[in-house]
Structure 1
Amino acid sequence: MRSDLPVTELAENVYLLNEFDGTNCYLVVGSEKALLIDCGTGFCDIRGAAEKLTDLPITLAATHGHGDHIGGAGQFEEIYIHRADCERLNKAQMSLLFRKAFLASNAPVKSHGFKTSDVKPGKYKTKIIPMDDGHIFDLGGKSVRVKHTPGHSHGSVAFIDEQDKIIFSGDNVCDALWMQLPGVTSIEEWLPSARWLYGMSEDYRIFWGHRVPQLERGYIAQVIAWGEEIMAKSRGNTKLPRITQYPNRPDGIIYRTDKVFRK
């Protein structure tokens, strides 16, 4: 599998590894070890790409338990995932079949010349290690702290690199926010996580999981406003799930009408 992923240095010893227009993965390197945040869908050799940047031991952790962020976990002996997503984790999303299907349906990735035959089985039977809010990854001279931010999944987290003033936020606030998938919280439960991220964006750069990696503070505020408008316009959760989008534009929030308010 290809290990020549496009790499961008965000700060000294902090790197963005882009999975060829798939998932944005991030590597934070300390003096004793490194932390890889998300490992993509697994049609690339993400471990090989990370090892080109450091010869230190690499710990793998995920912003959430979706297949496009944990699909490459089979290249590692273990992965840290928030406890709430461990409880709901569909291990099929780490499977060879899922990774092939994802590649087959992803036109931007396929435009780079990838074929489903490029996707290989994982080397390891990866051990899943639950992590909780406040967990600290000590990398030697640099640490990264976990903040539980439920929304896009119950176990979504942000990783806070306080030294470099960077937060890696996963898919919890973004354009075309997906709040319709199995395992999402209600809009009401998501809003505190989004407001926290907005508050932190005054002093931190925010990098998320796909496309243009850096989230601007004004856009975070806009997505929060849309979430508040969804709640204001809703009379309550519907009995049956219906997927809709607000506002009706490509970057609006896609959500379930039965999961607007906390149950």
Structure 2
Amino acid sequence: MDLHRLNDPWFTVESIDETTFAISEYGHWEQVHSFLLIGEDRAALIDTGLGIGNIRSITGQLTNLPVDVLTTHVHTDHIGSHGQFERIYVHEADRDWLVHGIQGLSLEQIRRDIGRDITRKVPEGFDPAAYTPYQGEPAGLLSDGDLFDLGGGRIITVYHTPGHSPGHLCFGDDSRGFLFTGDLLYDTTPVYAFYPSTSPAGLVRSLARIAQIDGVRKVYGSHNTLGLDPEILREAGRAAQYLQEQELDHFGTGIHRFKGFSVQF
């Protein structure tokens, strides 16, 4: 696939390897990444972005296989195009948000966030004032330790990593050493757990957990820099220990900065 032929004005598609693609929305202030993982029998799309552009048109050019959506968590910038796909999977703890709406976020706030600080021309027909987040039943629920088989030996491991949301998930692509960390770990801007629906202590425990995953060669967060060195996992482990020992893992303690990332409680 010649990625230059995609020529999409909204999405930037970058090849991680021959069967793994980042689909990024750099024209929005959140700089969201979704990820397409292609096996022999099926493909997995980790999140569907903001819902500003037609991400299905991108995945359809990259693979002819059936595409299952694996949801890191149910926030607007990760479920925006869920309605374009038939098979959506989510953790049980976030299912209610997917079906009935995201807890603690008004529609007015969502529309303000989706429409601000946009630096690229948006697709024709996009209107922030009319934006409505996806709601619907998932095809299935994911649990910690589940294995999602794409065929050809490409098996995705599911890690339940609550904190940013109750049902937040990370996904390990063990055959390639990729760890997709959603909104649990990324660089540049703070990882946050300061909303009432978040859990600072849960996020810290989740950081400690992913720091113990072996064999990771590259970390892919859902925002900002695409592809982080695995050293950030070791730093996440040190950060978690510090935050717990100093009893900083609760609301109102502010922004805590570490080597390569920060968290805000």
TM-score w.r.t. length of structure 2 = 0.79
**1:106-160 CA deviation, whole Å, 9 max, x = no partner?**
x2xx1112279425878x9743232211222222212212111122222111111
Q: 1:23 to 1:236 in 2, by over 3 A?
A: closer
1:14 corresponds in structure 2 to 20
Residue 118 of structure 2 corresponds to residue 104 of structure 1: no
For residue 23 of structure 1, report the CA deviation from its aligned partner.
1.1
Q: What is aligned with 1:210? A: 223
Quick one: distance in 2 between partners of 1:131 and 1:235?
30
AA aligned to 1:174 is: Y
Which of 187, 193, 196 is matched with 1:179 structurally?
A: 193
Match of residue 163 from structure 1: 175
Does residue 39 of structure 2 align to residue 30 of structure 1?
A: yes
Pair 1:147 & 2:159 matched: yes
Give 1:99 shift.
6.2
Q: Secondary structure at the match of 1:52?
A: helix
Compute the RMSD of aligned alpha carbons: 3.3
SS in 1 for 2:14: strand
Give the number of equivalent residue pairs: 247
| Percent of aligned positions that are identical | 25
Q: Spell out the pairing of 1:183-194 with structure 2 (5 A cutoff).
A: 183-187=197-201, 189-194=202-207
**2:132 maps to 1:118:** no
Q: Which consecutive unaligned segments of at least 5 residues does structure 2 have? A: 1-7
Q: How does 1:72-83 map to 2 (within 5 A)?
A: 72-83=81-92
Q: Distance in 1 between matches of 2:260 and 2:43?
A: 36
Q: Distance in 2 between matches of 1:221 and 1:249?
A: 10
Whole-angstrom CA distance in 1 between matches of 2:248 and 2:26: 42
**Residues 172 and 159 from structure 1, CA distance in 2 versus in 1: closer, same or farther, beyond 3 angstroms?**
same
How many Å separate the matches in 1 of 2:89 and 2:209?
A: 23
Q: Distance in 2 between matches of 1:104 and 1:64?
A: 21
Aligned pair partner of 1:84 in 93, 98, 101: 93
Q: In the TM superposition, what is the alpha-carbon distance from 1:75 to its structure 2 partner? A: 1.4
| Residues 230 and 156 of structure 1: CA distance in aligned 2, closer, same or farther (over 3 Å) | same
- Which of 251, 254, 263 pairs up with 1:244? 254
Q: 20-29 or 244-253: which moved more? A: 244-253
Distance in 2 between residues matched to 1:219 and 1:183, nearest whole Å: 26
Question: What is the one-letter code of the residue matched to 1:41?
Answer: L
Shift of 1:204: 3.0
User: Within 2, Cα distance between the matches of 1:40 and 1:233?
Assistant: 36
Ranges in structure 1 where 5+ consecutive residues have no aligned partner: 256-263
Distance 1:30 1:253, change over 3 A: same
User: How big is the shift at 1:96?
Assistant: 8.6
Residues in 2 aligned to 1:174 and 1:190: alpha-carbon distance in whole angstroms? 13
Cα deviation, residue 247, structure 1: 4.2
CA distance in 2, matches of 1:112, 1:75: 22
* TM-score relative to the length of structure 1: 0.79
Preserved contact between residue 83 and residue 132 of structure 1 (Cα < 8 Å) = yes
* Aligned partner (choices 246, 253, 262) of residue 263 of structure 2: 253
Counterpart check, 1:62 vs 2:68: no
| 2:50 counterpart SS class | coil
Matched position secondary structure for 1:215: coil
